[in-house]
Structures are given as C-alpha cells and as structure tokens.
Structure 1
C-alpha cells in the first residue's frame, strides 16, 4: 500500500505507476519491490445495488406501520443530532414501504 506524498491519500496501482485519485499525483513503482496482489484485489470491482437491495439487507422487527397497520418493519439507526444525543431509529414497513422515525424522548 502506498500513500500520496502530496495529499496523503491512498494510491492505486496502474501499470508501472502509483496514481492518486484525490490529487492526480503519479509516482513510479519501485522496480525492486515485490508487490503482492491478492485475489480480492485482482477481482475488485464496483457493484451497484438498487434501493430495494439495501432495504432487504436490513433487520426486521415488530413495529406498527402508521400508514397500513402492518406489524413488521425493517429498521436502522442513524446519528442525525449532536454526538452527545442518542441515535434516531428509522423504520420501513415491509408491506407498503412507508418510512417513519422514532426518537428517544
């Protein structure tokens, strides 16, 4: 792993160069170095997911949907207020996809 001398970002290997995606800096690779590429690195690619895929990966719980009355919802937590306050729980109905939140009061 190499880091950019200009901005400190991690650099990517391209042919005989290290290239920084952040600032565009290019540095030649050391011909004496023994670079090891794992199978994960060799096969890495961007996988696009749809919104439905993200939601189906969320855990489910018992929660009453205010729109359709269904009793199951997917949920996640997100910090939307100050760091010293608790996270907000978001629910997505498994039937109608209605989204609502629950704050700690």
Structure 2
C-alpha cells in the first residue's frame, strides 16, 4: 500500500492502456509506475499486556483455605476481579501458597 505524500490518503492503481499509475482520489497527485514495485515490511507485534498485573499483582494479596488442584496443598493466595459485566459475579483467581507449586487457577 502506498499513501499520498500530500494528503496521506491511500493511492489507488489506474491503468492507462500499457502504463499504470498510482493516483489519489482526494488531491491531484499522480505517481507513474515505470517498473514493478515490490516491497515487504514485517510488522512488529505488540507486547501482550498482562491484565492481571503480572507477578506484582500477587505481592499483597490475602490467603484462604482452598485446595490446589495440582498438589492438593490446602492454602492459596486469592484475588477477585470483575472480568465480566457488572451484573455478573466477580471472578476469583487463586495461586497455590506452596512455593514449589505456585499453580494458578480461577473460579
């Protein structure tokens, strides 16, 4: 895709017999195509945001009695976050208190 250097709109292809040109629909800009245009650009992906706050989110949370599904430890850290609409109940996220496990799950 090429954009107009004057107004920044997308340039369209117009065929005039044997010659092709890129033209702007908004302003009178025309770019004659004299050879094949091939240009590749790799897009950089955005970093995924951790909506739960990453490891820092678990720094100051409370503990409760909850059985870990992985190691059966009887205590877990927990936090509640409103992940759906306001009329839906909050989602409870758990993290196993056992340092060797650290399994995370939600209810």
TM-score computed with the length of structure 2 as normaliser: 0.45
TM-score computed with the length of structure 1 as normaliser: 0.45
User: Which of 1 and 2 has greater Rg?
Assistant: 2
Q: Which has the higher helix share?
A: 1
